[in-house]
């Protein structure tokens, strides 16, 4: 076997492998099907490119985005690795030429979009060629649980059956929760060795901020970190424009990126940001895919992202150079409504099933904002990685502030949910505990039950904050459906049975949060 380290050095100019790369490459070289799960920027491409260089024949890479394919092919050719992409923009003559070159073993790597696999002409041409590896990039696109489901990925096994050769299959993704992982294995219909690596980006400091005016917070942050470059994500074009205008008027070197801009404008801002002419990019989540800029010192989310996958992918664009970087999420409960609106009003994915999946993921994102535990560990566990008790580099672990014992309050909340048969949603439970005289409570005679008014000394939003914390820490689950109801988890039962204590950080008590309208 060729020395893969030499290849790494000779072609790519790197001295050492990153975590996980070497094992994955060796496994593929042993012709074993492989699923590599690595975070964005972890270096997945090299894992199939090095085997591609060593194998006889070609490696066919299935990739979802034309722009990604173009970038990869340009980069590979400049390194002296013959490669090409086939997509719908090619003329008949150009594609004939490419197939001729494939027959002559001219290329090591050929990129295609998944839709192409269903094209009869493509299939006729490719099926008899010497294909040694099929690399499925962004493999989560095959799962409805993934964030970018692409139906055409489901056609991959059909395509594989038609090939005359039997290539080794490698699949890669950055975002594989256990559910997505099962889908990738099931829908690709293979039995791979699974490598889950390097999810923990130790140089990233994760922070959630609550109850602040987000623009004021951003301005203060930029002032305290002057000279540093980073990305500010906002969820709507309007918000992007407004933050951009504000920062521009204050003299910051700032660009913006959203779907409402002309292609040429977007491209110009993006290039200037990548080339360090602009320090700050204010953008919707349309920005960032395939951008390789290593010195992003912060990623601030002005709004709640739709799920943990998107959050980690976007936040993960910080600190790719391995130096310290900040990932800050400014949480405002009204953003939950915006995300719910996006779920309800998506004209493409509007089946109940898909909406429920999205609600469940949104819940996990909201719980991230409420948990009192290590938030790095929260993310890692979400992706199926190991739990950490204290990472020493997130806002919860670094908060050594005062704590307050709210065991009694937690017991009251849990017993109220239990006594009312786990039939009600958060507003009802809050109302009962706070002794509200709301019509529904009176109508159902809930003012007669023993837990009614048990927390009357608290404002409703304070009761709500305790419930959020209990949800965030996994004592209560929100059951989805038309009227989401609160349900107790095993953890809640053992909390009561074993007389456990429940403590929160005083800094988590957020007086300014308003839940109106939720
Ligand atoms: P991913 O697809 O996982 O997001 P890429 O494959 O695009 O990541 O790699 C991200 C960056 O890391 C690229 O610039 C790549 O050249 C670089 N990289 C990959 N492997 C190594 C390595 N072993 N040493 C240094 N840099 C690496």
**What's the confidence (pLDDT) of residue 232?**
98
Q: Whose CA is nearest to atom 24 of ligand 1?
A: 14
- Using DSSP, state whether 254 is helix, strand or coil: strand
- The region that residue 327 occupies, defined by phi over 0 for left and psi between -120 and 50 for alpha, beta otherwise, is beta
**What's the confidence (pLDDT) of residue 509?**
55
**What's the confidence (pLDDT) of residue 321?**
87
**Residue ranges of the chain with per-residue pLDDT less than 50:** 1, 510-518
Residue by residue, DSSP assigns 336-363 as HHHHHHHHHT-SSS-SHHHHHHHHHHHH
**What's the confidence (pLDDT) of residue 67?**
81
Q: Which residues line ligand 1 (CB under 6 A)?
A: 14, 17-18, 21, 38, 40-46, 292
Residue 342 CA, ligand 1 centroid: distance in Å: 33
Q: Whose CA is nearest to atom 20 of ligand 1?
A: 43
Q: What share of the chain is helix, strand, coil (3-state, %, to 5)?
A: 45, 15, 40
The preferred substitution site among 9, 23, 45, 322 for testing ligand 1, maximizing ligand atoms within 8 Å of CB, is 45
**What's the confidence (pLDDT) of residue 147?**
64
Residue 333: CB atoms within 10 A of its CB come to: 23
Residue 85 CA, ligand 1 centroid: distance in Å: 20
pTM: 0.72
Atom of ligand 1 at shortest range from CA of 18: 23
Q: Match 């050929």 to its residue by tokens.
A: 110
**What's the confidence (pLDDT) of residue 136?**
97
Residue 330: CB atoms within 10 A of its CB come to: 25
For 137, list phi and psi in degrees, rounded to 5: -85, 155
Q: Are 85 and 111 in contact (CB under 8 A)?
A: yes
**What's the confidence (pLDDT) of residue 387?**
83
**What's the confidence (pLDDT) of residue 515?**
32
- Give 412-470 pLDDT, tens digit per residue: 999 999 999 999 999 999 999 999 999 999 998 999 999 999 999 999 999 999 999 89
Cα angle 330, 332, 337 (rounded to 5 degrees) comes to: 130
Across 152-311, the runs of DSSP E, i.e. the strands, are 168-173, 193-196, 204-210, 230-233, 254-257, 280-283, 298-301
**What's the confidence (pLDDT) of residue 97?**
92
Instruction: Report the run of H or E that residue 215 belongs to, with start and end.
Output: helix 214-224
CA 413 centroid distance within chain: 32
Q: Which two tokens stand for residue 400?
A: 């050594």
**What's the confidence (pLDDT) of residue 185?**
96
- Give 118-168 pLDDT, tens digit per residue: 999 899 999 999 999 999 999 999 998 766 788 999 999 999 999 999 999
**What's the confidence (pLDDT) of residue 516?**
29
Atom of ligand 1 at shortest range from CA of 12: 16
Q: Which two tokens stand for residue 337?
A: 């409504």
State the DSSP code for 365: H
**What's the confidence (pLDDT) of residue 176?**
66
Distances, alpha carbon 316 to alpha carbons 208, 259, 296, in Å? 15, 22, 10
Is the C-alpha dihedral spanning 474, 480, 486, 489 positive or negative?
negative
Q: Match 């000779």 to its residue by tokens.
A: 10
CA dist., res. 425 & res. 422, Å (int): 8
State the DSSP code for 508: G
Residue 292 CA, ligand 1 centroid: distance in Å: 9
**What's the confidence (pLDDT) of residue 508?**
54
């Amino acid at each position: 076997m060729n020395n893969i380290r030499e290849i790494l050095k000779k072609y790519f100019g790197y001295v050492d492998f990153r975590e996980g790369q070497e094992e994955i490459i060796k496994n593929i070289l042993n012709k074993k099907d492989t699923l590599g799960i690595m975070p964005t920027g972890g270096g997945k491409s090299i894992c199939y490119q090095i085997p591609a260089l060593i194998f006889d024949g070609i490696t066919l890479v299935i990739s979802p985005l034309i722009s990604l394919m173009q970038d990869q092919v340009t980069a590979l050719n400049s390194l002296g690795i013959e490669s090409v992409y086939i997509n719908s923009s090619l003329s008949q003559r150009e594609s004939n030429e490419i197939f001729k070159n494939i027959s002559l073993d001219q290329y090591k790597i050929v990129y295609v979009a998944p839709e192409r696999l269903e094209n009869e002409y493509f299939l006729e041409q490719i099926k008899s060629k010497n294909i040694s590896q099929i690399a499925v990039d962004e493999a989560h696109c095959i799962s409805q649980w993934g964030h970018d489901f692409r139906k055409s990925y489901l056609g991959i096994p059909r395509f594989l059956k038609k090939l005359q050769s039997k290539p080794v299959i490698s699949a890669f993704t950055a975002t594989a929760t256990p559910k997505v992982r099962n889908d990738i294995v099931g829908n690709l219909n293979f039995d791979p060795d699974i490598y889950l690596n390097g999810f923990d980006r130790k140089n990233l400091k994760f922070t959630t901020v609550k109850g602040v005016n987000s623009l004021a917070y951003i301005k203060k942050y930029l002032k305290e970190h002057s000279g540093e470059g980073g990305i500010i994500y906002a969820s709507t074009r309007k918000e992007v424009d407004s933050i951009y205008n504000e920062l521009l008027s204050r003299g910051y070197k700032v660009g913006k990126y959203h779907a409402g801009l002309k292609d040429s404008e977007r491209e110009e801002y993006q290039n200037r940001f990548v080339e360090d002419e602009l320090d700050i990019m204010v953008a919707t989540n349309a920005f960032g895919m395939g951008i390789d800029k290593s010195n992003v010192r912060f990623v601030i989310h002005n709004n709640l992202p739709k799920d943990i996958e998107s959050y980690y992918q976007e936040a993960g664009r910080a600190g790719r150079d391995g130096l310290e970087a900040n990932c800050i999420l400014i949480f405002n409960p009204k953003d939950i409504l915006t995300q719910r609106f996006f779920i309800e009003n998506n004209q493409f994915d509007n089946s109940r099933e898909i909406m429920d999946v999205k609600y469940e993921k949104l819940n996990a994102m909201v719980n991230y904002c409420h948990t009192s535990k290590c938030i790095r560990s929260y993310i890692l566990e979400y992706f199926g990685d190991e739990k950490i008790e204290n990472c020493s580099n997130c806002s919860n672990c670094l908060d050594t502030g005062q704590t307050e014992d709210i065991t009694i309050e937690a017991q009251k909340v849990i017993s109220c949910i239990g006594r009312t048969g786990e039939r009600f949603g958060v507003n009802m439970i809050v109302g009962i505990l706070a002794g509200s005289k709301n019509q529904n409570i009176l109508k159902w005679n809930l003012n007669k039950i023993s837990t009614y008014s048990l927390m009357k000394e608290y404002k409703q939003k304070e009761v709500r904050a305790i419930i959020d914390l209990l949800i965030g820490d996994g004592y209560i689950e929100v059951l989805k459906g038309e009227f989401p109801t609160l349900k107790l988890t095993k953890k809640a039962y053992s909390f009561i049975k074993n007389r456990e204590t429940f403590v929160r950080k005083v800094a988590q008590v957020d007086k300014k949060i308003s839940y109106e309208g939720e």
